[in-house]
């Protein structure tokens, strides 16, 4: 029986990271880290700078291939995969430095997230009117729901290069959502935002989780956001796992307190 | 005052996604088509047709091809001239082997052969990027040029080594060869260019165009969307080379009426088309036309314009001045508006929207 | 006539023999010709390396891929010959040409580079295209399009050849070629020392890494760029003299400069020794290929062999032999 997203019940393990180690030449970015992400939860990955958080996401995504360890996603275990395969399996993500397509408008960027779902043949694309157009419109309707949800109607046609940073991050979220992912990886979605923007983004993240049922893994530095949003937290430091549990458990963990206060250990 | 969008509301997505959503733009395009299809052939002089319009159309087609590859997909190619040549020779062989089939069919079909060759030389693009890819396309350019002169089968073993264009007809009217009239050749070329431009525009406005631009802007993120990089890049090469091939076939059969590969499809041609695309505007359909118009008409303008202004000019000097001007203009545009004439046009339209108000 | 299996096998064996075995047999049969071919390739390689050197200088110091290097070589040579023909004695002509190259460097820096300071590389690359065409037009306008003779005697460059009896025959070494090799080596060593040991050399390397960072530590970008382009101009002049002495000075040379690109791919865009190694590999490889394998396909493969060699390398090592590995971070 093939394991699909639907066969995994809410609360069961969707993604498991098993003893993953990653190094670049002599630098060990991740050493023997294991944790899991349950379906329907919001999992935070936190830790000081250089702890290996983004590298961890990149490994899950398929950008980096770990030297050791395995990833199990939706019941399938593998040690390396290509990003496009990860995409087709239902993993989407946003980036620390916004990775939007700067030459295109907001609408086009989000529409590009629908690429995997669009497959009208090249032949019809040459004529546009006809099956290709019908498909465009169908997906446009879906994308408009996302635009509505993220409240970015006003900047639909604006080239994203011209948008302020906070809005760019929102568009990036929209593009990831357009992929209808089972697992959404967010890399510092609130970086560089003021309080109001952070509240907006938090609201979106919670809504994505409750409305669409998307499992979310996010890297974040703002402790308040992490404690409020997440169901469980994993703490990394210098590439190793320091703690793993609910926000309250992690907050009370002495190792974590030492790490953040800089106590040598 | 004239160029306003007020009152033009779109009530469905199809209208919103139209290529020319503003009514005035649609009227403008209709006017241009009327002038091109009706006014020019009837009223235009032979000089206009032969030295201005026909070269302009051929180069526009080639520019669209290169723009798709370099402007939309970000893959630098210095082999456009050679791909044009592939189209020309493919057409020549096809019409020699199957003279009963209409020449227009063969002109368009030769694009497929170019596309095939383009895909072959585009294969390295998965591993190689940027300047390095440009050098790989240089390999294509010089190798194919060598083929054109060293494979006698291509030019039917004839003594001159050149493509010879015989007489071919369409609906009973001569369209190629010595007896074909300028008007006939112009109309055939115009139709081909119009249809192919429409197709290119359709493709670029849809999902494929977005994939191309995604690969250009950030290919790592594009992969994450599920875009298969190799397939997308190869498709870009294929489509681009198709257009270059048809342009090359049209050049030989509808414009030159025969000729030698080394003059028409060499590295200088590749550079020329690249300049057209840069000056016209990377990533813009209309930019391809602007660039082609600019570069193809510049020598003519100099040859006849300068004497009109009282500056005497020998033939060769005009050519040298052209080089100087082209070089200076490229630098000028890159400093002032790296996005080319197309961006200036856009800015112009913006201002026109506001006119007579300043902002 | 039916083609039997034997027939096909015969054809295949024939082709394999012609391609894989026969050329080497030929090399062994006439070793003096082989050495001659290698020497010719070596000399061509040195000259390619000189052109590539100009590219490397500018790229290393300013991050700009100067497509106009080829035309600068031609322009320098044309200026030198033109000045001499106007009556200037040779040493003075050389000095004035250097002056012209200096003025050119300043002009390029002020008119082209300064306005484009922080633009992406591709824009700067295209700008050098513009410079190329501009200089072609200007050169043709001032000096005319006819090929010219380089003033070898007046520059005290040697003529004639040395014939060495070896390996059962004769191998000819043109004295001008030997001179070219020596001059090239001297220049390369000088440049390498300049980059590594002097203060200006360090500044050049800083600028290549990051314009903004270099500005913030007080390095004057404008000064550096003028120095770099002038140095490239000197290299261009020497290259032009050497090339012109062997054939003549014409605009066809500009297209030959395109051959420097495969050299740069092999040697890396930022490595001075790499330019030499790359040049030699391409030069010798080309000559051997043309002489021994060329006749099999009708000759003339020199026009594209270098690019295919480079392409082959790129597929296995996208950064060239000496280049830095490209690590993409997201």
pLDDT for the residue numbered C321? 67
Please name the chains neighbouring C, where neighbouring means 3+ C-beta pairs under 8 angstroms.
A, B
Residue C81: its pLDDT value, please? 85
Q: What is the pLDDT of residue A264?
A: 57
pTM for this model (two decimals) = 0.88
Cβ-defined contact of B323 to C134 (cutoff 8 Å): yes
Tell me the pLDDT tens digit for each residue of C2-36: 667 778 888 888 888 877 887 787 777 777 788 88
The highest-level CATH class for domain B21-266 is mainly alpha
CA distance B325 to chain A (A): 30
Kindly list the residues from chain B whose CB atom is less than 8 angstroms away from the CB atom of residue C298: 150
Which of B224, B232, B243 best probes binding to A when mutated, by most A CB atoms within 10 angstroms? B224
Instruction: Spell out, as residue ranges, where chain A has pLDDT lower than 70.
Output: 1-7, 261-265
**Any C CB within 8 A of A223 CB:** no
List chain C residues with CB under 8 Å of B76: 122
In this prediction, residue C330 carries a pLDDT of 42
> Could you tell me the residue range of the domain that residue C247 belongs to?
31-260
Closest residue, chain B, to C295 (C-alpha): B150
Average pLDDT over residues B306-314: 67
Model confidence over B240-258: pLDDT tens digits?
999 999 999 999 888 887 7
Residues of C in contact with A97 (CB under 8 A): 330
CA distance A203 to chain C (A): 27
* Interval B143-192: pLDDT, tens: 998 888 888 777 777 777 777 777 777 777 777 777 778 888 888 999 99
Domains parsed from chain A with CATH numbers: 1-90+181-265 (3.40.50.300), 99-179 (no CATH)
Task: Name which of A87, A111, A118 is nearest B224 (Cβ-Cβ).
Answer: A87
User: What pLDDT is stored for residue C328 in this prediction?
Assistant: 47
CB of A116 within 8 Å of a chain B CB? The answer is yes
Q: Do A101 and B218 touch (CB under 8 A)?
A: yes
Interface residue A134 vs chain B (CB under 8 A): no
Question: How many domains does one find in chain C?
Answer: 1
A95 to chain C: which residues are within 8 Å by CB?
330
- pLDDT of B140 reads 92
Give me the residue spans of the domains in chain B: 21-266
- Residue of chain B nearest A124, judged by CA positions: B203
Secondary structure, 3-state, chain B = CCCCCCCCCCCCHHHHCCCCCCHHHHHHHHHHHHHHHHHHHHHCCHHHHHHHHHHHHHHHHHHHHHHHHHHHCCCCCCCHHHHHHHHHHHHHHHHHHCCCCCHHHHHHHHHHHHHHHHHHHHHHHHCCCHHHHHHHHHHHHHHHHHHHHHCHHHHCCCCCCCEECCCEEECCEEEECCCCCHHHHHHHHHHHHHHHHHHHHHHHHCHHHHHHHHHHHCHHHHHHCCCCHHHHHHHHHHHHHHHHHHHHHHHHHHHHCEECHHHHCCHHHHHHHHHHHHHHCCCCHHHHHHHHHHHHHHHHHHHHHHHHCCCCCCHHHHHHHHHHHHHHHHHHHHHHCCCHHHHHHHHHHHHHHHCCCCC
């Amino acid at each position: 029986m093939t394991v699909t997203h639907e066969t995994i019940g809410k609360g069961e393990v969707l993604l498991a990271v098993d003893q993953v180690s990653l190094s670049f030449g002599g630098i060990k970015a991740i050493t023997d880290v294991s944790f899991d992400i349950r379906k329907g939860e919001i999992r935070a990955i936190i830790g000081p700078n250089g702890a290996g958080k983004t590298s961890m996401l990149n490994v899950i995504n398929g950008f980096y291939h770990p030297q050791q360890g395995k990833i199990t996603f939706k019941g399938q275990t593998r040690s390396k995969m290509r990003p496009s395969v990860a995409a087709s399996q239902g993993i989407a993500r946003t980036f620390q430095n916004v990775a939007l397509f700067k030459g295109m408008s907001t609408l086009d960027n989000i529409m590009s997230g629908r690429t995997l779902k669009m497959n009208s043949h090249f032949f019809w694309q040459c004529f546009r009117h006809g099956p290709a157009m019908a498909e465009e419109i169908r997906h446009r309707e879906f994308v408009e729901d996302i635009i509505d949800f993220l409240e970015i109607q006003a900047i639909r046609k604006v080239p994203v290069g011209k948008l302020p940073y906070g809005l760019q991050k929102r568009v990036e979220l929209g593009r990831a959502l357009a992929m209808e992912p089972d697992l959404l990886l967010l890399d510092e979605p609130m970086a560089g935002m003021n309080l109001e923007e952070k509240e907006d983004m938090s609201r979106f993240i919670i809504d994505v989780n409750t409305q669409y049922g998307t499992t979310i893994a996010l890297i974040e530095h703002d402790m308040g956001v992490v404690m409020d949003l997440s169901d469980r937290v994993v703490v990394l430091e210098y590439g190793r796992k320091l703690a793993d549990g609910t926000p309250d458990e992690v907050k009370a963990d002495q190792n974590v307190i030492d790490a953040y206060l800089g106590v040598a250990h | 005052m004239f160029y306003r969008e007020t009152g033009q509301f779109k009530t469905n997505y199809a209208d919103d996604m139209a290529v020319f959503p503003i009514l005035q733009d649609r009227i403008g395009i209709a006017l241009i088509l009327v002038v091109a299809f009706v006014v020019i052939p009837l009223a235009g002089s032979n000089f206009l047709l032969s030295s201005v319009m026909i070269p302009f159309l051929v180069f526009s087609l080639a520019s669209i091809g290169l723009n798709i590859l370099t402007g939309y997909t970000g893959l630098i190619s210095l082999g456009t001239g050679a791909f044009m040549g592939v189209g020309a020779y493919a057409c020549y062989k096809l019409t020699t082997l199957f003279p009963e089939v209409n020449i227009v069919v063969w002109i368009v079909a030769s694009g497929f052969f170019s596309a095939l060759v383009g895909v072959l030389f585009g294969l390295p693009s998965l591993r190689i990027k940027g300047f390095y890819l440009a050098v790989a396309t240089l390999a294509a350019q010089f190798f194919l040029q060598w083929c054109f002169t060293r494979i006698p089968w291509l030019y039917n073993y004839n003594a001159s080594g050149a493509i010879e264009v015989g007489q071919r007809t369409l609906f009973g009217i001569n369209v190629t060869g010595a007896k074909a009239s300028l008007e006939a050749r112009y109309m055939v070329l115009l139709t081909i260019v119009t249809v192919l431009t429409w197709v290119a525009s359709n493709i670029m406005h849809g999902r494929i165009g977005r994939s191309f631009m995604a690969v250009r802007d950030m290919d790592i993120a594009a992969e994450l969307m599920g875009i298969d990089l190799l397939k997308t890049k190869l498709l870009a090469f294929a489509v681009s080379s198709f257009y270059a091939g048809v342009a090359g076939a049209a050049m030989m059969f509808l414009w030159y009426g025969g000729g030698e590969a080394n003059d028409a499809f060499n590295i200088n041609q590749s550079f020329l088309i690249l300049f057209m695309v840069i000056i016209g505007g990377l990533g813009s359909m209309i930019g391809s036309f602007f660039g082609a118009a600019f570069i193809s008409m510049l020598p003519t303008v100099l040859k006849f314009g300068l004497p009109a202004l009282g500056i005497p000019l020998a033939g060769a000097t005009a050519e040298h001045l052209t080089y100087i001007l082209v070089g200076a203009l490229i630098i000028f545009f890159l400093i002032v508006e790296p996005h080319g004439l197309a961006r200036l046009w856009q800015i112009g339209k913006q201002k026109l929207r506001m006119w007579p108000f300043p902002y | 006539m039916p083609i039997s299996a034997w027939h096909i096998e015969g054809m295949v064996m024939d082709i394999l023999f012609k391609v894989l075995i026969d050329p080497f047999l030929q090399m062994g049969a006439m070793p003096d010709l082989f050495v001659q071919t290698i020497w010719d390739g070596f000399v061509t390689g040195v000259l390619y390396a000189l052109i590539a050197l100009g590219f490397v200088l500018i790229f290393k110091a300013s991050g700009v891929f100067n497509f106009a290097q080829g035309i600068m070589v031609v322009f320098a040579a044309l200026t030198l010959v033109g000045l001499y023909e106007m009556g200037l004695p040779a040493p003075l002509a050389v000095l004035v040409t250097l002056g012209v190259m200096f003025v050119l460097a300043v002009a390029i820096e002020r008119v082209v580079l300064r306005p484009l300071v922080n633009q992406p590389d591709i824009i700067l690359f295209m700008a050098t295209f513009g410079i190329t065409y501009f200089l072609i037009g200007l050169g043709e306008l001032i000096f005319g399009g006819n090929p010219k003779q380089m003033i070898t005697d007046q520059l005290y460059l040697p003529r004639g050849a040395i014939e060495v009896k070896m390996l059962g025959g004769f191998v000819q070494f043109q004295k001008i070629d030997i001179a070219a090799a020596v001059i090239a080596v001297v220049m390369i060593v000088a440049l390498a020392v300049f980059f590594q040991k002097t203060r200006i050399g360090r500044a050049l390397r800083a600028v290549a890494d990051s314009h903004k960072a270099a500005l913030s530590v007080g390095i004057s970008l404008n000064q550096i760029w003028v120095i770099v382009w002038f140095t490239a101009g000197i290299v261009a002049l020497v290259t032009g003299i050497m090339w012109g002495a062997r054939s003549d000075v014409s605009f066809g040379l500009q297209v030959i400069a395109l051959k420097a690109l495969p050299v740069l791919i092999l040697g890396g865009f930022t490595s001075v020794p790499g330019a030499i190694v790359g040049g030699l590999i391409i030069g010798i490889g080309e000559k051997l290929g043309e002489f021994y394998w060329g006749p099999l396909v009708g000759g003339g493969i020199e026009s594209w062999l270098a690019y295919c060699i480079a392409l082959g390398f790129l597929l296995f090592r996208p950064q060239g032999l000496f280049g830095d590995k490209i690590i993409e971070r997201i």
